[in-house]
Structure formats: structure tokens, C-alpha cells
Amino acid sequence: MAASQDIIKQLALIKTTIAEYNYQYYVLDNPSVPDAEYDRQMQALQSIEQEYPELLTDDSPSQKVGDIPLPEFKQVEHEVPMLSLDNAFDRDSFLAFEKRMQDRIKDDSEISYSCEPKLDGLAVSLLYENGKLVRGATRGDGRTGENITANVRTIKNIPLVLRGRDYPERLEVRGEVIMTRDGFIKLNKTQLEQDKKAFANPRNAAAGSLRQLDSRITAKRPLLFFTYSLGLVENEQYPLADTHSARLRQLSEWGLPLSKELDVAQGAEACLDYYQHIGEIRDSLNYDIDGVVFKADNIELQQELGFVARAPRWAIAHKFPAQEEMTVVQDVEFQVGRTGAITPVARLEPVFVGGVTVSNATLHNQDEIQRLGLKIGDTVIIRRAGDVIPQVVSVIVDKRPADARDIVFPETCPICDSAIEKLEDEAVARCTGGLYCGAQLKESMKHFASRKAFDIDGLGDKIIDQLVDQKLVKTAADFFKLELIQISNLERMGEKSAANLIQSLENSKQTTLAKFMYSLGIREVGEATAANLAAHYCELDAIKQADLESLQEVSDVGAIVAQHLVNFFAEEHNVQVIDDLLAAGIHWPKIEKVELSSLPLAGQTFVLTGTLAQMDRNTAKATLQGLGAKVAGSVSAKTSCVVAGEKAGSKLAKAEELGVKVMSEQDMLDLFSELETSV
Ligand code: IVH
């Protein structure tokens, strides 16, 4: 049966509704409806299209699933060449660029720059004719690229049809396709599970995903597009804006996604501030960037300045220090951690990466060594992002020397020679020596003295190493038996600092039950769990005597943590250390058992959503629970409050729909400090 006018109208309405939802979600980052409503519209669309296949068009929002494989990519000639950018690798070369700009304009007013992050993905051109996406192409050599239309159509935030009416008849939009970081981690996990090769980084994964002849594969990859310029523009209905940044905003009104960090700066100093700012937030972004781009904002000025070779004179990429570098693995050693975990560590030929010189990189565990296929002597790519421990990303097998050696995992602990145990479902191998093992002992003592535990000022790692090596400290209780003369005899210790240390030891004796529990270093008992245990049981003896069942009533404690606790207290030597600590005078204020119903947030249900920037989610959850609230995973009419972090999506939308109270992360932190002082 042919479709009636009503059906045709209904279909058009559904399509515009979905396009609008996509725009709110991907461009404005502010969805107005919950996911379920989106799904309903999509289902309605699909069912009409199924019933009336003649109504199915390739710009329908249902078509983001990919098409049958192509035999090969066709070539695309770029009508306006896709150029590259000059780079500045440091402040001076950026300032030199800026001075050249300033000299050319022969006027001493400060130049306005459009400031954008330099996205680390692939340059892509999208051609829209009469508002419809008709072609997607790679940059290729700048003149000729590959036609990847079928693939770009599957990218979730690329509009197949532009919004509004006032766009030019032919409009070429340029930008970068990137893979999100969390999507990349998930993708690599699946690749490995399916015995496929992992990708070295999100950029490679994005490139691999975009150059698939089978667009159904591209459709499944977590790719996003961000626009950064215009290419060909023909038959515009209105003159385009006269600055680059205003043109980008115009593109975003037509539905094209724009980086949220876009800004405008006047003059060199403001640009440098922007560089600094983006460097600071870099790690919190969900995609990789490798610098920032500054472009003279005034289009007339751009035209006046023109191009040299293959890059514009009016723009520069101010790069961050490289986060990936090549170096050689000279050796692999095995470190023993506080809980006995044995971590292979690559000793590297020192290399400058991510702004510092790096000579070690973690190899995590045996599986990781196998995954990398690493041998000693190999040339590798290492990566250091932010404060994260440097990682080995991949091995350059072509550079493997003839005398490369296999990495032999030790059979006994390299420190104490105890047996090494590897449980079947754990990737980590562990030394079974417990506190008999010098390495575990040192790490446990460092944990005990650390800021969140006993917070003993002046008791640093080097001092602890000496105290353990000289057998002055065998358990944490021994710290409190140290005499002034024993401490002042240590290397790098004078009379004065020894006396200070004795004083800090004395001061640390006054603590809290939560800190005491944390300081014991029981496996998987972190700060939040320790606090929950203290709040739940109020007394140490009650925790010591608790059985598996009772322990699991504590928020945050599951079967595994409960078992670790029971095992810990079953060891005579652990109980002895606790007794010795108490005998040394460690004490804490008595905790009054608080009736749950008297807690300030009793009876309230909170939902956490989005990314929290200042407090990790587990701590936030534990703190809320500590204040008497329940923390749920989904929003309903019964929810008292939704805490929306960055990039909050459907849960936030649902809260707004249901009229549930919404607070920001900062509101929550303010609430915590307000309530904690009143409790
Ligand atoms: S503008 C004529 N802006 O960097 C100017 N490029 O090194 C052309 N890139 O091929 C590019 N973020 O793939 C521009 N905000 C941004 C960018 C950006 C990333 C890439 C782009 C280009 C490469 C040049």
C-alpha cells in the first residue's frame, strides 16, 4: 500500500525531531529528552521505513549503521586544497610567529586570534549541497583524498542534513575526526578479547576505523567530528561572518559540532594564557589533543597575509611537548608492592617525553609483556600523559637487535625469595612472603606513614628504607619505640630533624578509627571503605570480630573485601601489631553510634552522573552514604537529588523531565562541608 500524505508528514516530523535531539545532544551537549524518548522516535522512524521502503532516504537518521563494503575507496579532488599548519614547539617560536604577524599589519593594535585545541585525529572534509551531506573525504595529500562518504555518514555527531535554511548552496566543512578516550579503551578491550591486535593510540584507532571499506564496522566505532574551518563555499544566501570564530559559531548553528574550548584572545600574552589553560585541562578532556591552534580571527587579515608553501601565514599550531617518544628497553626489573604484587618495570634509555626525562616505564604484569611481545633490547614507543606513570605503548619489531633477550618472569620473589603465587582469575602475580618480605614491609611502612594514614611529617621514603634495612623497624609499632640517637644516626638526618621526627611521631598518636583502619593496609580497604567500617562498627574490637556476613552490611564492602578483612584479623601477627600500636599510645576519640535516621541526609536518594572533576565517584558515594543518603544508579520520581558532573547526559535529562532537584559537583562539595561541620 502506498504511503498516505499523513504518513509522509508524520515521517518528516519524526526526522526533524530526531535531528533536533541529535543537535541538542551532540552540538549543544544539552539533551532535552531522556534516551528512552530518543529510542521511541527512532523506533517509530524505523517501523515506518520498514513498512514503506520507498520512503527510506539515505539522509534518514536511521541510516547511521553503515552500508555493505566498498571494493575500494574512490579518489576525491579537493576543489580548495586542504592545507597544513606551521608548528611552534616552544614559547619563543610562538612569539616569533606573533611578532611577524604584528610587523605585517603595520599597526600596533593587538591582533585577535581564534584559539582552538589541536585535535589529534584525522582531517576530514564534508561537502553539503543544499543542506545535505553528499560527500566525505580524507585529506590525503591535500589535493587528492579518499571518498569516505559511507563512513562519515555513520559518525554520530555529523549531521546528514543541516539545520535552518540560511546555509550556502554548496558548503564544505572541514574538521577532525577523533576517537574518544573511553571509547578507545573499550575498543581495545574488545579487540583483545577477540584475539585481534590492539590499537596503539586513539589517533591510530580513529584512522583505522575511518578507512574501513565496510562502513558497518565504522558505525560501531566511538568516533566524533569537530569542525575547525570552511573549505569551498558557493552561492551563499547571506554574506558569511567576517571573523573565523563567528563563522565557526555559524557552522554550529547549522548543526556542526564545535569544540567547546573555542575562544578568542587579543594579542600574544592572552594566547599564551590560553595555551597554559588548555595544557591544564588537557587530561580531563575525553579526547587527545597535541597542542593549540591560533588563527588570525579577521578574515580580511587572513586574505591579506595569504599562504607560504602549504601552510597559512596567519595561523600556527603551538604544540605541547610530545607525549610519545621512542627509546630502548635496557633491562626489565621486578618490583614488589605493598600487597606483594610483582610489577615488571622497564629500565629505559632516558628520553624526554611529556615535558620530563623518563627512564622507567611500568609493564603492569606478565600478560602485558605478552601482549606487547616485548624483549630486552627492543626499541619501543613510550607514552607519558599528565601525571600518569609512563607506559610502553608498542614495540617497533623492525628495530629488534639480534641479541634481544626474552624477559624471564621470576619464580620466587626477587627480594625475599618466597614463593610467587598467581591466582587463575588475577593478572597479578604476588610474593607470598607478607611482611617477612623486605619490599612489602617497606611499602607497608610507607603506607602507614603516608598523609591519609598516620600522616607522620618528616618520615619520608628514604628514611623508611634505612630504618627497615637496619632492622630498626619490623612493624609499624616499632616507629614509636625509636630513640633520638637511632634516628639522628641515619643518613641525611641531623639532630634537629631527628627531634622533629620524634615530635611528629608523638603528634600522630592522636588519630581517628577510620585513619587507623586505613593505615593497616588491608587489601582493598581504601580511605572510603575504612571510613565506612569505622562509622558502621564504631569500635575496633567490633571490626576485628565481625564475620563475613556482618561485614557485607557495610556500604562499599562486598564479598572480596570482607574476606580480606577476615583473613587479616585471622593472622596472629597482625593482631599483635595492633596491640603493640595501642600499647604505644595510639588513640582516637570514641565514636558515638549514630542512628541512621538521625543522619542529615537520612531518607534521601542521590544519583551521581557525568564526570566528577574534584572527587572520585567512590569517595562521593561513600561520603553521601556516610551522611545517611542512599546512592542509586538510575533516576526516578523517588530520587531526591541528581548530582550532575561534566558531560552528564540522559540521567540529567530525566531529572529535569521529572522535576528532580539537580546540583553541580561544587554544590555537593559545599553541602558536604556544611554538613560535616554540623555532624
Ligand atoms: S586548521 C589552513 N585547526 O592539524 C589550516 N587544524 O597540522 C588548516 N588540526 O591537517 C587546519 N585541530 O588535521 C586546524 N583546530 C584546528 C585543528 C587542526 C587539529 C589538524 C588538521 C590539520 C593538522 C595540521
What are the residues whose beta carbons fall under 8 Å from the beta carbon of 350, sequence distance 6 or more?
327, 357, 358, 359
Question: Measured in Å, how far apart are the chain's first and last C-alpha atoms?
Answer: 70
- Residue 196, pLDDT score: 86
Angle at CA of residue 676, ends 675 and 679, nearest 5°: 85
Integer Rg of the chain from CA: 30
Q: Is 244 in the pocket of ligand 1 (CB under 6 A)?
A: no
* CA–CA separation, 497 and 489 (whole Å): 11
Lowest mean pLDDT across 315-329, 411-425, 592-606: 592-606
Mean pLDDT over residues 8-29, rounded? 87
The residues facing 87 across adjacent strands are: 317
* CA–CA separation, 248 and 233 (whole Å): 14
Q: Is 83 in the pocket of ligand 1 (CB under 6 A)?
A: yes
Atom of ligand 1 nearest to the CA of 120: 19
Task: Tell me the per-residue pLDDT of 491-535, one tens digit each, with 9 for 90 and over.
Answer: 988 899 999 999 999 999 999 999 999 999 999 999 889 998 998
The percent of residues in the chain predicted with pLDDT above 90, rounded, is 67
Distance (angstroms) between ligand 1 centre and the Cα of 227 equals 10
Distance (angstroms) between ligand 1 centre and the Cα of 174 equals 9
Atom of ligand 1 nearest to the CA of 83: 2
Distance (angstroms) between ligand 1 centre and the Cα of 261 equals 15
DSSP state of 545: H
Atom of ligand 1 nearest to the CA of 121: 13
| Assessment of whether the complete model's pTM goes beyond 0.75 | no
Q: Is 312 in the pocket of ligand 1 (CB under 6 A)?
A: yes
Task: Tell me the per-residue pLDDT of 98-137, one tens digit each, with 9 for 90 and over.
Answer: 999 998 887 788 999 999 999 999 999 999 999 999 999 9
Mean pLDDT over residues 657-667, rounded? 93
pLDDT band for position 620 (cuts 50, 70, 90) = confident
Q: What count of other Cβ atoms lies within 10 Å of the Cβ of residue 90?
A: 11
Q: Is the pLDDT of residue 419 over 80?
A: yes
Distance (angstroms) between ligand 1 centre and the Cα of 118 equals 7
pLDDT band for position 610 (cuts 50, 70, 90) = confident
User: In this structure, which residue's CA is closest to atom 12 in ligand 1?
Assistant: 118
Closest residue by Cα to residue 219 from 69, 337, 364: 69
User: In this structure, which residue's CA is closest to atom 23 in ligand 1?
Assistant: 84
Ligand 1 probe mutation, 119, 275, 305, 316, most atoms within 8 A of CB? 119
Q: Is 392 in the pocket of ligand 1 (CB under 6 A)?
A: no
Q: Is 487 in the pocket of ligand 1 (CB under 6 A)?
A: no
Q: Is the pLDDT of residue 622 over 90?
A: no
pLDDT band for position 678 (cuts 50, 70, 90) = low
What are the residues whose beta carbons fall under 8 Å from the beta carbon of 504, sequence distance 6 or more?
456, 457, 458, 459
User: In this structure, which residue's CA is closest to atom 7 in ligand 1?
Assistant: 85
74 in catalytic set: no
Distance (angstroms) between ligand 1 centre and the Cα of 402 equals 41
Lowest mean pLDDT across 174-183, 316-325, 396-405, 460-469: 316-325
pLDDT band for position 677 (cuts 50, 70, 90) = low
The percent of residues in the chain predicted with pLDDT above 70, rounded, is 99
Residue type, 118: K
CB 216 within 8 A of CB 125: no
Residue type, 213: L
* CA–CA separation, 527 and 439 (whole Å): 23
How is the beta sheet containing 112-119 ordered, strand by strand? 87-88, 315-319, 289-296, 112-119, 263-266
Q: Is 84 in the pocket of ligand 1 (CB under 6 A)?
A: yes
Atom of ligand 1 nearest to the CA of 122: 13
Q: What is the 3-state secondary structure (H, E, C) of 331-372?
A: EEEEEECCCCEEEEEEEEEEEEECCEEEEEEECCCHHHHHHH
Output the CA torsion 185→190→193→195 (10° steps): -100
What are the residues whose beta carbons fall under 8 Å from the beta carbon of 117, sequence distance 6 or more?
259, 261, 278, 285, 289, 291, 292, 293
Q: Is the pLDDT of residue 213 over 70?
A: yes
Residue type, 10: Q
The residues facing 227 across adjacent strands are: 175, 258
Distance (angstroms) between ligand 1 centre and the Cα of 163 equals 25
CB 136 within 8 A of CB 225: no
- Residue 43, pLDDT score: 87
> What average pLDDT is seen over the chain?
91
Question: Greater confidence, 141 or 551?
Answer: 551
Q: Is the pLDDT of residue 168 over 60?
A: yes
Number of residues that make up the chain: 679
Ligand 1 probe mutation, 82, 115, 118, most atoms within 8 A of CB? 118
* DSSP character string of 249-300: HHHHHTT--B-TT-EEEEHHHHHHHHHHHHHHHGGGSSS-EEEEEEEESBHH
Backbone angles phi, psi at 193, to 5 degrees: -60, -30
Ligand 1 probe mutation, 84, 85, 124, 320, most atoms within 8 A of CB? 85
- Residue 259, pLDDT score: 94
pLDDT band for position 387 (cuts 50, 70, 90) = low
Q: Which of these is catalytic: 118, 442, 651, 654?
A: 118
Q: Is the pLDDT of residue 342 over 80?
A: yes
